[in-house]
Each structure stands twice: as C-alpha cells, then as structure tokens.
Amino acid sequence: MIREMIVVEGKDDTTAVHRAVGADTIETGGSAIGEDVLRRIELAYERRGVIVLTDPDAPGERIRKIVTERVPGCKHAFLTKSEARSRKGIGVEHASDEAIRRALEAVRSPEGDSGELGEIDWSDLLDAGLIVQASAASRRERMGELLGIGYANGKQFYKRCLMFRITRVEFLAALEQLEREGL
C-alpha cells in the first residue's frame, strides 16, 4: 500500500491506479479544480503526503501546475505519452498496470537534496539542443522520460529541472543516453 494519496483526474484514473497498486486517490474532476478539492489535497499532504499522477497532456499539465502552486511540496509521478496511449485516447486510465507501478516507483520530489553536484542552467538546455532548435521538442520529450520528469515546453522543462533538483551529473548522463539513441 502506498502511504501517500495520489491525485488523479477522474474515476477511470482511480480505477487504473487501484488495479495497479494499493493506494487511495483524490480525483480533481478535470482541469477545473474546485476549492474543496484543493483543500482536500492540502489536508492529504499534511497528513499522508501527496503524489500527483496526471495525464501526459495539456489539461494534465494544467492540473499539475495548479496543485503544485497550491501545495508546493507534492511529489510527482510521470507517465510518458507512449505509456498512456491506447486506441481510445491518452491518459492514466489507458496505461498498463506495469507503467503505473513504474511511474510511482520513480516518483520525484521537489525536496530532494542536490548536494554539491550543481544545478542545471538555461544555457545547458540550449547547448543540449533542448530549446530553440527544430528537434528541441522531441529531444525534451525523451530527456523528460530519461530524467523521470515528463514532457514540458522549454521554460517548464527548465523549471522542472530546478524544482526536482536535477543534478548536472543526472542531466549529462541522460544527455549522453539521448546522443547514443541518435536523437
């Protein structure tokens, strides 16, 4: 049983999480999160901790942002678009049990300790071809998978690197893997 409450978008996501792991969920009811739901998330964070697991799409990112702004210490689990895609659409409810378990095992916390290994700088993203260049979006998508922070536009990707305290060592190792894959 997972100790933290898992924030998901809807009932089908709750069903998928229950199928994959033993956990309690809080459903946001979509990207128009009400004040009552945000209060429940705050209470859950204070008493048990919270993991945000939303769809890898724009509404899911909007929910993640709203929850993070209201409850900054939340942990985050990410599914890739390919893990969350089926013939019926894209979302947590379409992910396999194994993909959900893997995402929850690789949970990221903004409270991690980066130690003396250094933070990522905006110029690192530029040098790595993660912003400005034609292939930047596909490179960021794969780097997000490798780093376990999900896909985001350039500015959000940089914020996530800082928020989750991605170290220079982690970043360079993921970049090396990206280069080996020919992206």
46-73 per-position pLDDT tens digit: 999 999 999 999 899 999 999 999 998 8
Residues 85 and 171 occupy one common structural domain: no
- 117 inside domain: no
Assigned domain for 20 exists:
yes
Backbone region of residue 8 per phi and psi (left: phi > 0; alpha: psi in -120 to 50; beta: other values): beta
Helix axes 154-163, 136-147, angle to 10 degrees: 20
- What is the predicted pLDDT for the residue at 118? 59
Percent of the chain with pLDDT over 90: 72
What is the count of structural domains for the chain? 2
pLDDT recorded at residue 75:
94
**Based on the domain organization, do 84 and 159 belong to the same domain?**
no
What predicted TM-score, i.e. pTM, was given to this entire model?
0.77
Residue 97 has pLDDT above 70, yes or no: yes
Structural domain contains residue 158? yes
Same-domain check for residues 131 and 87? no
End position of a domain, from candidates 56, 75, 105? 105
Q: What span, in angstroms and rounded, lies between the C-alpha atoms of 98 and 108?
A: 18
**Residue-range definition of the domain harbouring residue 64:** 5-105
* 54, part of any domain: yes
Kindly state whether residue 168 falls inside one of the protein's structural domains: yes
Q: What is the tens place of the pLDDT at every residue in 110-155?
A: 765 444 445 788 889 999 999 999 999 999 999 999 999 988 899 9
Same domain, 48 and 16: yes
Indicate whether 13 belongs to any domain. Answer: yes
Determine if residue 118 is left, alpha or beta; phi over 0 gives left, psi from -120 to 50 gives alpha, anything else beta.
Answer: left
Q: Are residues 88 and 13 in the same domain?
A: yes
User: Mean pLDDT score of the chain, rounded to an integer?
Assistant: 90
Residue 2's closest CA among 15, 55, 17?
Answer: 17
